[in-house]
C-alpha cells in the first residue's frame, strides 16, 4: 500500500497532436464508453458534443445512428431491439445498418465512434501486456476539452491542488525534456517526493525520485507512465480518453494499468487513490471560468516554467471547435444521409 506514493505523480500526463487538427472532432476516433457498456438487449445512448447518437448490437456488429427516428423525430433510446433492428417506440419504425451514422469499433477494452475517420489508427494506451492488470473508471469534469488536456499536461499545479498526497514540495520537476515527433509531443521529467512520504520510500528502499513520461494523442486521448528508478520494469500507466458532452463538460474514460501491487488489495488501492486525485481536479475545474471568450483572452498571458509543451498544444487547439449539431447536419446533407 505504501507504493501508492508513486501513483500521485501520474495523473498530470500527456502530449501529442496531429497535423490534421483543423478537421471536425467527429472525424476523429472518439471514445464513447467501455466495451461492456453495450448490452445485447438495450440500446446505448451517447453524444459527441451536440450530436445525439445511439448504438445497439446486431449479432456481432455494433450499429450507430442519430438518436432521432427518420419518421417523426422521436428519440430511439426507449426502443426495443428485435432481430438486430432498433424499433422506434413511437410507431415501431425499424432502424438497421442502412440507417447507420458513423462507425463504432471495440479497441483496448473501449468503444470508439467516428463519423468519417481520417485514419484507421485508434489511440492506444500502451502496456496492455500479460503481467499488467487494468482497471477502468468514468468521471465527468466541468471543463472544456482543450483545457482538460492542458490540465493533464500541467506540471505546476500538483503542488497546490494535490499537495496532500506526495506533492507539495517547493522543489520543481527535474530533467524536463520535450520530445517532438511527427504527430505528437512527449515530455519526460523526474519528480521528487514531498517530505511527508519520503520515509515511506526509505522503508521500501526506493529512491525519492520517479521517472515520468507523458503524452497527448490529439485530440482527446492522454496517457502517462511513472517508473521507479531502481526498477524501470515496474510501471503505472494512466490513460484518459476524453469525450466532450457539453462545451464545459468532458467525460473521462480512464484506464489504470500497472504491473506491481497487482493483488486484490493493491488493485483497489490504485483505484481509490486515482479517484481521490481526480476529484481534486474536479473541484478545481468547478472554479474555472466558463466563458470561452474571456478564458481564451486572459489565458497564457503569464507563463510558468516547464510550459513549452503547453504553448505548442495551445496552438493546435486554437482550431478546435465544440461539435455543433448544425455543422453536423450540413455534413450529413453533403453525404445525402
pLDDT of the chain along its 337 residues, tens only? 444 444 544 444 433 334 456 789 999 999 999 999 999 999 999 999 999 999 999 988 999 999 999 999 999 999 999 999 999 999 999 999 999 999 999 999 999 999 999 989 999 999 888 899 999 999 999 999 999 999 999 988 877 887 765 554 566 788 899 988 766 888 999 887 655 444 444 444 445 678 889 999 999 999 999 887 666 688 999 999 999 999 999 999 999 999 988 999 999 999 998 999 999 999 999 999 999 999 999 999 999 889 999 999 998 898 899 999 999 999 999 999 9
Residue 191 pLDDT: 80
pLDDT score of 230 = 67
Q: Which pLDDT score, from 0 to 100, does residue 70 have?
A: 94
Q: What is the pLDDT of residue 260?
A: 85
Write down the pLDDT at residue 199: 44
Provide the pLDDT for residue 164.
65
Burial 213-239 (b: 16+ CB within 10 A, else e): bbbbbbbbbbbbbbbbeeeeebbbbbb
Specify the pLDDT at position 17.
Answer: 37
Dihedral, CA of residue 271, residue 272, residue 276 and residue 278, to nearest 10: 20
Q: Give the chain's domains with CATH numbers.
A: 2-22+124-317 (3.90.380.10), 29-114 (2.102.10.10)
Cβ(135)–Cβ(271) below 8 Å: yes
* Joined grid coordinates for residue 165: 498526497
Q: Which residues are paired to 189 by β-bridges?
A: 212
Q: Is 91 exposed, middle or buried (0-12, 13-18, 19+ CB in 10 A)?
A: exposed
What is the radius of gyration, based on Cα positions, of the chain? 21
Q: Residue 323 to residues 169, 178, 337: CA-CA distances in angstroms?
A: 40, 30, 18
Backbone torsion region of residue 5, taken as left when φ is above 0, otherwise alpha when ψ lies between -120 and 50, otherwise beta: alpha
Chain centre distance of CA 107 = 14
Contact 144, 178 (CB under 8 A): no
Alpha-carbon distance of 330 to 2, in angstroms, equals 55
pLDDT at 181: 78
Question: What pLDDT is recorded for position 227?
Answer: 86
Q: What is the pTM of this model?
A: 0.88
Amino acid at each position: 500500500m505504501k507504493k501508492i506514493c508513486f501513483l500521485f505523480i501520474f495523473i498530470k500526463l500527456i502530449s501529442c497532436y496531429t497535423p490534421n487538427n483543423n478537421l471536425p472532432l467527429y472525424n476523429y476516433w472518439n471514445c464513447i464508453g467501455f466495451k461492456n457498456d453495450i448490452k445485447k438487449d438495450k440500446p446505448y445512448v451517447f453524444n459527441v458534443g451536440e450530436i445525439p447518437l445511439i448504438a445497439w448490437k446486431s449479432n456481432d456488429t455494433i450499429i450507430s445512428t442519430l438518436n432521432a427516428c427518420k419518421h417523426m423525430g422521436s428519440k430511439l433510446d426507449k426502443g426495443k431491439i428485435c432481430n438486430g433492428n432498433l424499433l422506434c417506440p413511437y410507431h415501431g419504425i425499424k432502424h438497421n445498418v442502412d440507417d447507420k451514422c458513423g462507425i463504432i469499433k471495440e479497441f483496448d477494452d473501449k468503444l470508439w465512434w467516428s463519423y468519417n475517420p481520417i485514419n484507421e489508427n485508434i489511440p492506444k494506451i500502451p502496456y496492455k501486456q500479460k503481467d499488467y492488470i487494468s482497471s477502468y473508471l468514468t468521471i465527468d469534469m466541468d471543463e472544456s476539452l482543450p483545457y482538460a488536456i492542458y490540465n493533464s499536461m500541467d506540471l505546476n499545479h500538483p503542488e497546490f491542488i494535490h499537495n496532500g498526497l506526495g506533492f507539495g514540495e517547493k522543489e520543481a520537476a527535474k530533467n524536463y525534456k520535450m520530445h517532438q515527433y511527427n504527430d505528437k509531443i512527449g515530455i519526460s521529467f523526474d519528480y521528487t517526493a514531498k517530505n511527508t512520504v519520503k520515509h515511506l520510500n526509505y522503508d521500501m528502499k526506493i529512491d525519492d525520485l520517479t521517472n515520468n513520461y507523458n503524452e497527448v494523442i490529439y485530440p482527446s486521448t492522454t496517457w502517462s507512465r511513472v517508473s521507479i528508478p531502481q526498477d524501470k520494469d515496474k510501471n503505472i500507466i494512466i490513460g484518459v480518453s476524453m469525450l466532450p458532452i457539453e462545451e464545459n463538460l468532458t467525460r473521462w474514460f480512464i484506464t489504470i494499468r500497472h504491473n506491481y501491487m497487482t493483488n486484490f488489495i493493491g488493485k483497489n488501492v490504485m483505484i481509490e487513490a486515482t479517484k481521490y486525485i481526480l476529484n481534486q481536479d474536479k473541484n478545481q475545474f468547478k472554479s474555472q471560468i466558463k466563458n470561452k471568450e474571456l478564458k481564451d483572452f486572459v489565458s497564457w498571458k503569464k507563463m510558468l516554467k516547464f510550459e513549452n509543451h503547453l504553448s505548442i498544444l495551445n496552438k493546435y487547439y486554437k482550431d478546435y471547435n465544440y461539435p455543433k449539431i448544425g455543422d453536423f447536419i450540413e455534413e450529413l446533407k453533403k453525404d445525402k444521409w
